[in-house]
Structure 1
Amino acid sequence: MEKRVTRLGGLLAAYQRRDPAARSKLEIFLLYPGVHAVLYHRLAHWLYGRRLFFLARCVSQWNRFWTGIEIHPGAVIGHRLVIDHGMGIVIGETAEIGDDCLLYQGVTLGGTGKDKGKRHPTLGDNVLVGSGAKVLGPFTVGDNARIAAGAVVLSQVPPGATAVGVPARIVRMAGKPVYYADDVDQIHMEDPVRQELTALSERVSQLEEALRQQGNTKERTA
């Protein structure tokens, strides 16, 4: 019992650290749907582990109705998961989430088909998944990774990297460590596809200018 109280205290403290609107632990405990979703899931997962599948699904469906967050009873969730707002989040049966992760609204941790066995992603520790992002498939998102809002991730994300775009591409963080998942600027992220197109456009402009100068030189010597 004491261990459960300690874990709940750690969860509430994580919300206080990462949500500037949080005024007190009592407010978080009573009014934050992300906290309710995790607590209901603990019960559903306990029932699921004892093969009480119908009861587990009943609890998870009530959780979905009450919070707007759908977590399959079979999903494995680590400690201090912070769900910001949370409406529309879907977490599949074989998904695994590490400690100290942060999910925003509209996130899907889903599968890509009807295969049996492991078919949902595994998130390492301290991972951030931005609003509306879709992580689809049985691969791993490494520790300290960041997934930008609206990204569609279909393959493995290395530790400490950032995935951006549709489909997502990896942008490494130039050796800069991430200590907390909430230390993330979700606005000022560069799109690697745009960077490549910009570089190609600049190169084409340089070649056109070189051809123009070469033509002018030929005209003067003619």
Structure 2
Amino acid sequence: MPIASHRQLDSSLWSQWREDVSSVFERDPAARTTFEVLTTYPGVHALMIHRVSHRLWRRNWRYAARFLSFFARFLSNVDIHPGAVIGSRFFIDHGAGVVIGETAIIGNDVTLYHGVTLGGTSWNKGKRHPTLEDGVLVGAGAKVLGNITLGNGSRVGANSVVVEDVPASCTVVGIPGKIVKLREAGFLNPYGIDLDHHLIPDPVGKAISCLLSRMEVLESKLDSRDKLSRYEACDVDNQVCLEDCPGGEIKSNNLGRG
């Protein structure tokens, strides 16, 4: 992933901007013209400004970088720290409420939806934010926290909280996030990008469904048995009945008097 950092400095700003804008058409069917994307997409505004602020940050113009980042947040409601390393063709859909921390590293062709947080969990000055490798997709409202890595092509379900590494090509859902399946080949769009973030399994629903099915089987077995047949083969033990059954001794005495 350090390659992404070097690429940010080696590539020209214009070429990065062109790639960022072009990637919108690959992942948002609502995008119609370049002018529309440049003037109405807050995620694009935030990213374009970040490309500049990151260059200032790397050249130790720290206050200028932070002020530019602050302006981008004011404009777009997307908070990207200028120290974050972001690869090519990064796309933030809708943009609102996205937060990306200082030591976050994001690979190429990554997609975030609104409300995503790439946050830290430590006071240490070192690496404390997530690394997202190429092709990662993070659903709306998800929180990815700490110095963890999401492998190539992994997906995070909406509103999930991820605090551990995720292997490549896996899907994570829940709080805390759990790997629910190895991803299978899905339906890619014409650009080879998998945006079916709504096709997320429901492990809780599946468990409940299995329990209900099991209960139905057990109840049907009980109903099929003759309830009286359970006692036909039992030998009567009067001694047990006298000593253990409520009222058994009184009943026995009454029978004796008769």
Query: Normalising by the residue count of structure 2, what TM-score does the alignment of the two structures yield?
Result: 0.77
The 1:4–1:124 alpha-carbon spacing in structure 2 relative to 1, beyond 3 Å, is same
The answer as to 2:26 corresponding to 1:25 is no
The 1:181–1:94 alpha-carbon spacing in structure 2 relative to 1, beyond 3 Å, is farther
State the match for 1:34 in structure 2.
Answer: 43
Deviation at 1:194, TM superposition (A): 2.4
State the match for 1:191 in structure 2.
Answer: 202
Paired residues in the alignment total 222
State the match for 1:60 in structure 2.
Answer: 69
Paired residue secondary structure (1:66): helix
Deviation at 1:220, TM superposition (A): 8.2
When structure 1 is superposed on structure 2, of 130-139 and 197-206 the one drifting more is 197-206
In the alignment, the residues of structure 2 paired with residue 93 and residue 215 of structure 1 have an alpha-carbon distance, to the nearest angstrom, of: 70
The 1:6–1:208 alpha-carbon spacing in structure 2 relative to 1, beyond 3 Å, is same
Aligned ranges 1:32-111 → 2 under 5 Å: 32-111=41-120
Q: Structure 1 stretches of 5 or more lacking a match? A: none
Deviation at 1:3, TM superposition (A): 4.2
When structure 1 is superposed on structure 2, of 69-78 and 7-16 the one drifting more is 7-16
Deviation at 1:204, TM superposition (A): 3.9
In the alignment, the residues of structure 2 paired with residue 144 and residue 28 of structure 1 have an alpha-carbon distance, to the nearest angstrom, of: 26
Paired residue secondary structure (1:11): helix
The 1:216–1:123 alpha-carbon spacing in structure 2 relative to 1, beyond 3 Å, is same
RMSD over aligned CA atoms reads: 2.4
Q: Deviations over 1:22-74 (max 9, x none)?
A: 11112212321111111111111111112222111111111111110000111
State the match for 2:6 in structure 1.
Answer: none
Note if contact 1:128-1:182 (Cα within 8 Å) is conserved in structure 2.
no
Q: Deviations over 1:82-129 (max 9, x none)?
A: 111101100001111110111111100001232331111100111111
In the alignment, the residues of structure 2 paired with residue 215 and residue 121 of structure 1 have an alpha-carbon distance, to the nearest angstrom, of: 62
In the alignment, the residues of structure 1 paired with residue 192 and residue 204 of structure 2 have an alpha-carbon distance, to the nearest angstrom, of: 24
In the alignment, the residues of structure 1 paired with residue 192 and residue 126 of structure 2 have an alpha-carbon distance, to the nearest angstrom, of: 29
In the alignment, the residues of structure 1 paired with residue 216 and residue 132 of structure 2 have an alpha-carbon distance, to the nearest angstrom, of: 43
When structure 1 is superposed on structure 2, of 63-72 and 152-161 the one drifting more is 152-161
Say which one has the larger Rg. 2
Write the letter of the residue equivalent to 2:57. Y
State the match for 2:238 in structure 1.
Answer: none
When structure 1 is superposed on structure 2, of 16-25 and 92-101 the one drifting more is 16-25
Write the letter of the residue equivalent to 1:40. I
The answer as to 2:144 corresponding to 1:135 is yes
Deviation at 1:181, TM superposition (A): 8.0
Deviation at 1:144, TM superposition (A): 0.7
In the alignment, the residues of structure 2 paired with residue 221 and residue 2 of structure 1 have an alpha-carbon distance, to the nearest angstrom, of: 87
In the alignment, the residues of structure 1 paired with residue 213 and residue 135 of structure 2 have an alpha-carbon distance, to the nearest angstrom, of: 38
Note if contact 1:102-1:181 (Cα within 8 Å) is conserved in structure 2.
no
Write the letter of the residue equivalent to 1:116. K
Note if contact 1:75-1:93 (Cα within 8 Å) is conserved in structure 2.
yes
Paired residue secondary structure (2:51): helix
When structure 1 is superposed on structure 2, of 127-136 and 163-172 the one drifting more is 163-172
Query: Normalising by the residue count of structure 1, what TM-score does the alignment of the two structures yield?
Result: 0.89
* 4+ residue runs over 6 A deviation: none
